[in-house]
Amino acid sequence: MIVELVNDLKNKNLEAEEYVERTYEKIGKYDKYTNAFITIRSKEEILREVKENINKGGKLAGILIAIKDNISTKGIRTTCASKMLEDYIPPYDATVIEKLKKEGAVIVGKTNMDEFAMGSTTETSYFGPTRNPWNLERTPGGSSGGSGAALAAGYVELALGSDTGGSIRAPAAYNATFGLKPSYGTVSRFGLVAYANSLEQIGPMARNAEDLGLLFSIIAGPDDKDATTLDLSLNFEFKEQNVKSVRIGILSDILEMSEKPVSGVIKDVIDKLSSEGALIEDTKLGNAEYALPAYYIIAMSEASSNLARYDGVRYGYSKYMEGNWREVYAKNRGEAFGIEVKRRILLGSFILSAGYYEEFYLKALKVRNLIKKSLDELFTKYDILVSPTMPILPPKIGEVINDPVRMYAMDLNTVIANLAAIPALSLPAGFYNDLPIGLQLMGKYLSDIYLINISSYIERNVTKLYNLTAPIKI
């Protein structure tokens, strides 16, 4: 637990040198296999900052944290796992980074991800794929796969990710860790390199529910630099929420579309929740088959607009500067963007083009509204909604990357929360053939803390799975 680790460092039960050395020894031994990090800071610099922050104090005094490589960190390379930004060093910190530093956290490095957060397996990275510490032949999920793998491998206790359609929850599920996609507007997006503004959120990732809650309490809150943040006071009271008499709706239409090994593990957890006194009832989302296409239409449209700035003139890779502007743009973008990013830009531009905007984009917005209304109605009957986080087991490296439709289908269960702006949390549910499976909890808007408290009870009394470290088999 982070609270205990902070106290150990403060009281010198654990020396700063030992803490840092242990971290770097593990990263040095195993990350050549997992490839969780794109950038690792020097051990000497980290040790100095850890010592300084232990003396200064704070909720995270001296604690090492891993940051997804699409969140701006002043003076530390931020690449978005793309050749386009391979050498970019931000001149400012994202708001969440400022908040972490204020509480004494120390950034150990920037984690690998799908290029510009576009992917579900962390295989589209320019810096090579991240591998799942539980099984190096498997993917860790995406796009925050590096953060998930760093937690599962035991490199760090805390990490930040971003979630546009499941990018925090997929790695949490596939790495047997905890991840929260917060309610839209509870965490500032200032300093997050944009993919799809109306869908994405920065969120906490951790090895247990208590640490997840602590990290969320630090990064949440209003920000003058992000007009979408909410000026409200959240009651950060984290405690185990007994599931007795909690009304739980099982999304049967989502559950039925999952692989049998996945649905089997989830059904076991549901049975245990029932035996703990939870009020279990099968229900359906409705319009579930339209959620995925609506999500991708909206996400790709926003991506095509956001990534227009990377042209080699204003931003990014600028190898080619001679010729007319069309040639310069085409050469720089053609060489610096990966296949998946190009695909989404092209599809997004097509969707927004004259004659297709109403046919695709406006229809997708209508579906989004229908899904939100359906969820609002369900939350009048249930306190939380439950489903598998991911419909399939972690795929093998190379298994889905060349089949975009199959890769997009992996996000079936997770995009719902992003479309509706509600919080969703993934926690370990169990294993099948030593491969992790995640349980997804969704709650009504601004019920983030309630979800964390429920997950704390489930991890300790139902699944009894927390603080798991993968036995990396080389």
Residue 68 appears among annotated catalytic residues: yes
Asked if residue 116 lies in contact with residue 455, where contact means CB atoms within 8 angstroms, the answer is: no
Asked if residue 66 lies in contact with residue 147, where contact means CB atoms within 8 angstroms, the answer is: yes
Query: Whole-angstrom Cα distance, residue 76 to residue 191?
Result: 13
Q: Give the β-pairing of 64-68 and 37-40.
A: unpaired
Q: Starting at the edge strand that comes first in sequence, how are the strands of the sheet with 247-251 ordered?
A: 37-40, 106-111, 64-68, 158-163, 201-206, 178-181, 424-432, 435-443, 384-388, 247-251, 279-283
| Tokens 């009832």, located at residue | 281
CA nearest neighbour of 140 among 474, 374, 470: 470
Residue 2: helix, strand or coil by DSSP?
helix
Residue 167 appears among annotated catalytic residues: yes
Give me the catalytic one of 72, 82, 125, 143.
Answer: 143
Strand segments (E) across 237-319:
247-251, 279-283
Give me the catalytic one of 82, 144, 167, 447.
Answer: 167
Contacts of 362 (CB under 8 A, 6+ apart): none
Ramachandran bin of 417, using left for φ above 0, alpha for ψ from -120 to 50, beta for the remaining angles:
alpha
Cα–Cα separations (whole angstroms), residue 469 to 85, 153, 185, 411, 436: 32, 6, 32, 25, 12
CA nearest neighbour of 430 among 381, 394, 387, 465: 465
Decide: residue 32, CB within 10 A, 0-12 exposed, 13-18 middle, 19+ buried.
exposed
For the chain, the maximum distance between any two Cα atoms, rounded to a whole number of angstroms, is: 70
* Catalytic residue ranges: 68, 143, 167
